C-alpha cells in the first residue's frame, strides 16, 4: 500500500494539456491523431514519434477532456512508474473507461511489464474500455520479447507523429504566446529557435520563463529581453 | 440510517464534495467510489483499485467523514476498500443448495449486475445471488463465416467445424497451435458460436489462461475452491486460450489437470490454443502435455499471400470499406508476419482514407504505411537476408558466398536462398548470382530442400520462424 501512496505522488497529469492548446500547425499527422482520438472509433490506438512531437500532451489532453466528461480515465506514464510493481500499477485499471499509457517503449527488456500489459489488452477486449498508448519508437523497433504482446500492439491503429519543422516551431511559439497573452515583437520566435534545442519541451519551458519575467518586469518580449532572460 | 445508501447519503455527500473540489479532482477520485451499507452506522466505500483507494484515504477520507456526519447528524463509520475482482465462476454460476448456505450445484446463480462487488466472503456472495445467464465471453464477430480459409489453416478449420458438429466426440480435446496472430482464437470462438447456435442452452465458456489462473487464486482466497471446481466441471465446453501462460504455475496446472480430466471423462468438449506443439511447452507438467495430445492436435501456419490478401479484403468489408484486389495484394506482399499486423496496417490505411476523404488506392497505401514499407525495404534485401542468416548460424558473411559444401555452411546458405526467393522479387538467376555466382537450378534445389525440411524437421522450422521474425522487425 505504501507503494501506491508514493505512486500517486509521482504521477503528474498536466491539467494544462488540452486539445485546444495543442498546436497542430498544418501537420496532417497531428490533425489525424486528434481527429482519431476525438472520434473514439478506435478502441486501441498507438501514437508514436520522436521526443517533442507532442504525444504526451495529446495523451494528457485525452485524460483531461474525458475527465471533464465524467469518464473514469487513467494516465500512466511508465517513465514515472517504472520503479513500481507492474502487477500493482495495472491492478483494476481495465475497469476504467479510458487508459492512456505513455512511454510504453520502456517495457523493452522487462518481461514482467510486458506480461501485465498483455493481460490488460486481453481484459480490455471484453469491456467497453479504450486503450491509447504512446511511445517514441514503433512496435517494430521495440524488440519486445513477448511475441503475444508485440502482435497485439501491431493490431492497434498506429499513427506516426513527426517532430515539428522549424517553421512549425515558430508557429508554436506565437500560438502559445497568444494563449498566454504575451506580446512578442517581430523576429522573436525565429531568434529563439535558432538558439535553443528544437524540442517542444524546451520551447515550452522557455516560454514559461519569459512569461514569468515579462510579468515581473512588465515588459513585452523583445529580442534583447530574450537575450537577457536566457543569458545568451 | 436510511438503508438505501445509494439513493440518499452518498449522493448528497458527492454533491457537497463536488462543490468543494475542482471538477477534475472530483471526477478522478470521488466519482469512481461506490457506496454500500456494510453494518449499522457504517458505510462501505469501494474504490476501483488500490491507487484510488490510497489516494482517497490520504487526501479525502477525513473530509468525507465530516460531510457524512453533517448529513446524517450522527457519527458514521466510513470504511474504504478496493472493489474485488469478481471471478468468472462467481459472476456466472455458483449454485447454492436449497438447505445449505455452502455453495454447491443447485438452483440459482449470481447476477453480473447486482453482485456486491465489495464482498469478500462466500456468504456475502451467495446472499447477493439471483438468476442470470452464463457469460460465455464469446466474440460474436469470430464465426466460421468471417474466418478466411487458406492452405495454412485448412486442416485446423476443418477440425474446428467437425468439433462444432460433434462436440465431445473423438476430437476431444481440440488442440490448436501456431504462432501469434494466425487465427487460433478466431477458430476457437467460431466453434463456441456454432455450438451455441445449435444449442442456445449450452454452457460454453471462453477465457484466457491468465483469467483461469486469476479465478483460481481468487477461489483460494475466498475459500471457494469447491465452487470453482463445480463451476468449471459443469460446463459443456471449455475454451482456454494461450495455455503456454500456465508455464511455471504449478497450482493452477494441478487444478487444470483435474478439471481437464473431469471434463474429458464427462464427454464435455475442451478446446485449447497454444503457441507451440504440446510436447514443446516449457514449464508445464509432462502428464498435462501428454493429455493435450489425446484428441486432435492441429497447426495453424502463417497465411500465404493469397490468404493474406483475402483476409484484408474480408476485414475491410467488415469495416464497411472497399479494398480492391490490387490494393490488398500490395499490402499482403509487404506485410507477411501475421493477421494482427495486417489488421493494424489496414486500420491505418482506412484512417488515412477517411481523414483525406480519398478512395483507397496504392498511392494512399504507400503514404499511410510509409514507415512500415521503408522498414521492410531496408530489411528485405538479399544482402540483409544473407547477413541475418549468417548471424543466426554464427557464420561469416563470406561463407554465404563461398564454394564450401559442408553441411554447416550449405544448409544456412540454402535457407538464405529460400528466404530470398520468398521475400524478394528477384529472379532465380539473380538470387543465384548474389550467392557467389551460383546457377538458378541451385536456387531451385535449395528452395525445394528447405520446403521439405520445414515440414519434417522441427529444428529447421523453428529456425525459419526466427529468421522471418528477424527480417520483419
User: Which of A5-14, B239-248, B379-388 has the weakest average pLDDT?
Assistant: A5-14
**Percent of chain B at pLDDT above 70?**
86
Asked if residue B173 has a cis previous peptide bond (ω within 30° of 0), the answer is yes
The CB-based long-range contact list for B288-291 (8 Å cut-off, 24+ gap) reads B288/B246, B288/B253, B288/B256, B288/B257, B288/B260, B291/B173, B291/B257, B291/B260, B291/B261, B291/B264
A155 touches chain B (CB under 8 A): yes
| Alpha helices, DSSP H, located in B134-270 | 154-165, 184-198, 209-221, 225-233, 250-265
- β-pairing, B269-274 vs B174-178, is parallel
C-alpha angle A138/A142/A143, rounded to 5°? Answer: 140
Shortest distance, CA B379 to any CA of chain A (angstroms): 12
For residue B6, the model assigns a pLDDT of 54
Tell me which of A101, A140, A141, A161 to substitute to probe the interface with B (most B C-beta atoms closer than 10 Å).
A140
For residue A12, the model assigns a pLDDT of 64
Contact (CB<8Å) B27/A91: no
pLDDT in tens, A29-54: 888 998 998 888 889 999 999 888 88
Nearest to B30 by CA among B17, B20, B19, B43: B17
pLDDT exceeds cutoff 70 at B431: yes
pLDDT in tens, B260-281: 999 999 999 999 999 999 988 9
Q: What is the number of other CB atoms lying within 10 angstroms of the CB of residue B257?
A: 14
Q: Note which residues in 3-62 of chain A have CB less than 8 A from chain B.
A: 4-5, 7-8, 15, 28, 31-32, 35-36, 42
Question: Which residues in chain B touch residue A156, judged by CB atoms under 8 angstroms apart?
Answer: 344, 347
Question: Which residues in chain A touch residue B356, judged by CB atoms under 8 angstroms apart?
Answer: 28
A·B CB contacts under 8 A: 121
Shortest distance, CA A185 to any CA of chain B (angstroms): 36
User: Where are any strands of DSSP class E within B285-411?
Assistant: 296-300
User: Which of A71-85, B36-50, B87-101, B303-317 has the weakest average pLDDT?
Assistant: B87-101
Contact (CB<8Å) B355/A95: no
Q: Are B43 and B80 in contact (CB under 8 A)?
A: no
For residue B84, the model assigns a pLDDT of 66
With b for 16 or more beta-carbon neighbours within 10 A and e for fewer, the B381-404 pattern comes to: bbebbbebbbeebebeeebbbeee
Q: Which residues belong to CATH 1.10.8 in chain A?
A: 166-230
pLDDT in tens, A133-155: 999 999 988 889 898 999 999 99
Contact (CB<8Å) A42/B31: no
A80 burial via Cβ count (<10 Å: 0-12, 13-18, 19+)? middle
All three cell numbers of A113, joined, read 511489464
For residue A10, the model assigns a pLDDT of 45
pLDDT exceeds cutoff 70 at A194: yes
**Percent of chain B at pLDDT above 90?**
49
pLDDT in tens, A54-68: 899 999 999 888 888
All three cell numbers of B420, joined, read 530470398
B186 burial via Cβ count (<10 Å: 0-12, 13-18, 19+)? buried
Average pLDDT over residues B295-299: 94
All three cell numbers of A232, joined, read 545568451
Mean pLDDT for chain A?
85
Shortest distance, CA A146 to any CA of chain B (angstroms): 10
Q: Is the CATH number of domain A4-160 3.40.50.300? A: yes
Q: Which residues belong to CATH 3.40.50.300 in chain A?
A: 4-160
For residue A76, the model assigns a pLDDT of 92
How far is Cα B16 from Cα B21, in angstroms, rounded to an integer? 9
pLDDT in tens, B352-361: 999 999 999 9
How far is Cα B421 from Cα B443, in angstroms, rounded to an integer? 8
For residue B38, the model assigns a pLDDT of 67
pLDDT in tens, B31-76: 888 887 766 778 888 887 777 787 888 888 989 999 988 888 888 8
Contact (CB<8Å) A119/B275: no
Nearest to A148 among B242, B351, B372 (CB): B242
Could you tell me which residue, B449 or A17, shows the higher pLDDT?
B449
What's the CATH number for A166-230? 1.10.8
Q: Are B85 and B59 in contact (CB under 8 A)?
A: no
Q: Are B354 and B319 in contact (CB under 8 A)?
A: no
- β-pairing, A98-102 vs A130-135, is parallel
Shortest distance, CA A222 to any CA of chain B (angstroms): 37
Nearest to A64 by CA among A33, A41, A98: A98
For residue B316, the model assigns a pLDDT of 96
Average pLDDT over residues B161-173: 94
Nearest to B83 by CA among A71, A70, A91: A91
- β-pairing, B42-47 vs B34-39, is antiparallel
Q: What is the number of other CB atoms lying within 10 angstroms of the CB of residue A197?
A: 11
pLDDT exceeds cutoff 90 at A132: yes
Helical (H) or strand (E) element with B45: strand B42-47
All three cell numbers of A80, joined, read 514515472
Q: What is the dihedral of CA B58, B62, B67, B73, to 10 degrees?
A: 150
pLDDT in tens, B87-141: 666 655 433 333 333 332 222 222 232 222 233 344 444 443 333 456 888 999 8
Please give the DSSP secondary-structure letter assigned to residue B359: -
pLDDT in tens, B362-409: 999 999 998 888 777 777 889 999 999 999 999 999 999 998 889 899
Q: How far is CA B382 from its chain centroid? A: 35
* pLDDT level of residue A231 (50, 70, 90 thresholds): confident
pLDDT exceeds cutoff 50 at B241: yes
User: Which of B161-170, B211-220, B239-248 has the weakest average pLDDT?
Assistant: B211-220
The model's pTM is 0.75
For residue A133, the model assigns a pLDDT of 97
Amino acid at each position: 500500500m505504501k507503494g501506491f501512496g508514493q505512486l500517486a505522488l509521482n504521477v503528474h497529469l498536466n491539467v494544462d494539456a488540452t486539445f485546444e492548446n495543442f498546436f497542430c500547425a498544418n501537420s496532417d499527422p497531428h490533425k489525424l491523431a486528434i481527429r482519431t482520438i476525438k472520434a473514439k472509433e478506435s478502441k486501441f490506438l498507438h501514437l508514436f514519434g520522436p521526443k517533442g512531437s507532442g504525444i504526451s500532451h495529446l495523451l494528457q489532453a485525452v485524460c483531461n477532456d474525458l475527465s471533464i466528461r465524467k469518464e473514469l480515465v487513467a494516465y500512466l506514464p511508465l517513465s514515472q512508474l517504472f520503479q513500481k510493481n507492474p502487477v500493482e500499477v495495472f491492478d483494476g485499471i481495465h475497469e476504467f473507461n479510458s487508459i492512456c499509457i505513455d512511454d510504453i517503449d520502456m517495457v523493452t527488456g522487462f518481461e514482467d511489464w510486458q506480461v501485465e500489459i498483455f493481460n490488460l489488452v486481453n481484459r480490455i477486449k471484453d469491456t467497453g474500455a479504450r486503450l491509447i498508448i504512446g511511445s517514441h519508437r514503433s512496435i517494430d523497433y521495440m524488440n519486445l520479447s513477448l511475441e503475444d504482446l508485440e502482435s497485439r500492439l501491431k493490431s492497434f491503429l498506429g499513427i506516426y507523429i513527426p517532430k515539428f519543422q522549424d517553421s512549425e516551431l515558430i508557429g508554436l511559439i506565437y500560438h502559445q504566446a497568444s494563449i498566454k497573452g504575451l506580446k512578442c515583437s517581430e523576429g522573436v520566435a525565429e531568434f529563439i529557435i535558432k538558439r535553443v534545442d528544437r524540442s517542444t519541451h524546451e520551447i515550452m519551458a522557455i516560454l514559461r520563463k519569459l512569461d514569468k519575467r515579462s510579468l515581473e518586469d512588465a515588459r513585452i518580449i523583445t529580442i534583447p529581453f530574450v537575450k537577457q532572460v536566457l543569458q545568451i | 440510517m436510511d438503508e438505501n445508501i445509494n439513493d440518499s447519503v452518498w449522493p448528497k455527500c458527492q454533491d457537497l464534495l463536488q462543490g468543494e473540489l475542482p471538477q477534475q479532482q472530483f471526477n478522478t477520485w470521488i466519482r469512481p467510489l461506490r457506496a454500500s451499507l456494510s453494518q449499522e452506522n457504517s458505510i462501505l466505500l469501494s474504490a476501483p483499485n488500490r491507487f484510488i483507494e490510497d489516494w482517497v484515504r490520504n487526501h479525502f477520507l477525513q473530509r468525507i467523514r465530516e460531510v457524512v456526519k453533517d448529513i446524517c447528524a450522527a457519527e458514521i463509520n466510513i470504511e474504504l476498500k478496493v472493489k474485488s475482482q469478481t471471478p468468472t465462476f462467481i459472476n456466472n454460476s455458483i449454485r447454492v443448495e436449497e438447505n445449505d448456505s455452502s455453495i454447491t450445484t443447485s438452483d440459482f446463480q449470481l447476477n453480473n449486475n447486482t453482485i456486491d462487488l465489495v464482498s469478500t466472503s462466500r456468504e456475502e456472495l451467495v446472499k447477493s445471488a439471483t438468476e442470470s445467464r452464463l457469460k460465455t465471453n464469446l466474440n460474436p464477430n469470430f464465426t466460421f463465416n468471417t474466418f478466411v480459409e487458406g492452405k495454412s489453416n485448412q486442416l485446423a478449420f476443418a477440425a474446428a467445424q467437425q468439433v462444432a458438429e460433434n462436440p465431445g466426440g473423438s476430437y476431444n480435446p481440440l488442440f490448436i497451435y501456431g504462432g501469434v496472430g494466425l487465427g487460433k482464437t478466431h477458430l476457437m470462438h467460431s466453434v463456441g458460436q456454432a455450438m451455441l447456435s445449435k444449442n442456445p442452452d449450452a454452457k460454453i465458456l471462453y477465457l484466457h489462461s491468465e483469467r483461469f489462473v486469476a479465478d483460481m487464486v481468487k477461489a483460494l482466497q475466498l475459500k471457494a475452491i469447491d465452487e470453482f471446481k463445480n463451476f468449471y466441471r459443469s460446463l459443456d465446453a471449455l475454451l482456454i486460450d494461450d495455455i503456454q501462460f500456465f508455464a511455471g504455475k504449478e497450482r493452477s496446472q494441478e487444478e487444470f489437470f483435474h478439471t481437464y480430466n473431469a471434463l474429458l471423462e464427462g464427454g464435455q468438449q475442451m478446446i485449447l490454443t497454444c503457441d507451440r506443439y504440446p510436447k514443446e511447452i516449457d514449464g508445464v507438467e509432462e502428464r498435462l502435455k501428454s493429455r493435450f495430445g489425446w484428441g486432435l492436435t492441429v497447426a495453424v501456419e502463417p497465411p500465404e499471400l493469397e490468404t493474406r490478401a483475402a483476409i484484408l479484403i474480408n476485414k475491410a468489408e467488415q469495416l464497411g470499406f472497399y479494398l480492391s484486389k490490387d490494393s490488398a495484394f500490395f499490402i499482403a506482399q509487404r506485410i507477411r508476419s501475421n493477421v494482427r499486423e495486417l489488421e493494424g496496417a489496414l486500420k491505418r490505411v482506412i484512417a488515412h482514407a477517411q481523414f483525406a476523404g480519398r478512395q483507397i488506392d496504392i498511392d494512399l497505401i504507400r503514404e499511410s504505411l510509409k514507415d512500415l514499407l521503408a522498414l521492410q525495404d531496408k530489411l528485405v534485401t538479399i544482402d540483409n537476408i544473407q547477413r541475418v542468416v549468417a548471424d543466426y548460424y554464427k557464420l561469416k558473411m563470406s561463407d554465404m558466398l563461398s564454394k564450401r559444401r559442408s553441411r554447416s555452411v550449405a544448409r544456412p546458405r540454402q535457407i538464405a536462398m529460400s528466404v530470398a526467393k520468398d521475400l524478394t522479387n528477384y529472379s532465380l538467376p539473380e538470387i543465384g548470382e548474389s550467392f557467389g555466382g551460383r546457377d538458378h537450378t541451385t536456387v531451385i534445389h535449395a528452395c525445394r530442400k528447405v520446403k521439405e525440411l520445414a515440414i519434417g524437421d522441427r529444428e529447421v522450422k523453428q529456425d525459419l520462424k526466427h529468421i522471418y521474425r528477424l527480417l520483419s522487425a
